[in-house]
Amino acid sequence: MPTRRQTTADESAELIVIYQCLCDETRLRILNLLASTDQLCVCHFQRLLNKTQVQISKHLSYLKAKGLVKSTKRANWMIYRLPRQRSAELDANLRCLQDCVQTHSIFKDDLKRLRKLQPTLGWLSDDGSCSDASECSGPAKGVASPSRGTGKK
């Protein structure tokens, strides 16, 4: 009878961190996009997810602090990617994510938009200037600024 491998405290802690990151739709969408391409700029996430720079940056900072994404600064732009060397646990969960989202329209739509955007992503490995520079300095196109209600009805 095969014996079960003992899970170490470090492995358990890593799984908890991974699942904490996966319990938010925006973070799931970000990780799914990064698993489908090499790297993306904050402005690309804004465009792909139809979210503001503040919203995207908040989620990317969280993922970076937990070690699920890496970043590099190129001129005025922050470029994000998945870690080159990933734990077996993270790798397995990213593969599972990509399998699970195949039937969900929001994720399929994200990937359709990514495919349309990919021809413009060459700058990420070339001269360091963002082809979507106008996106980097303001909210994503089509995203209205959040309205501040009075709380009264």
Task: Give tens-digit pLDDT for 88-136.
Answer: 889 999 999 999 988 999 999 999 999 999 888 776 655 555 555 554 5
* Burial (CB count within 10 angstroms: exposed 0-12, middle 13-18, buried 19+), residue 67: middle
Which residue would you say has higher pLDDT here, 28 or 125? 28
Q: Is 9 helix (H, G, I), strand (E, B) or coil?
A: helix
97 contacts: CB under 8 Å, gap ≥ 6: 22, 28, 31, 32, 35
- The helix or strand, by DSSP H or E, that contains position 6, with its residue range, turns out to be none
Spell out the domain ranges in the chain. 25-117
CA distances from 112 to 1, 103, 144 (A): 47, 14, 22
pLDDT above 80: residue 150 = no
The pLDDT value recorded for residue 76 is 84
CA atoms of 151 and 137, how far apart (whole Å): 30
Distance between terminal CA atoms of the chain? Answer: 66
For the domain made up of 25-117, give the CATH fold.
Answer: Arc Repressor Mutant, subunit A (1.10.10)
Q: What is the pTM assigned to this prediction? A: 0.76
The partner residues of 79 in beta bridges, in order of sequence, read 41, 72
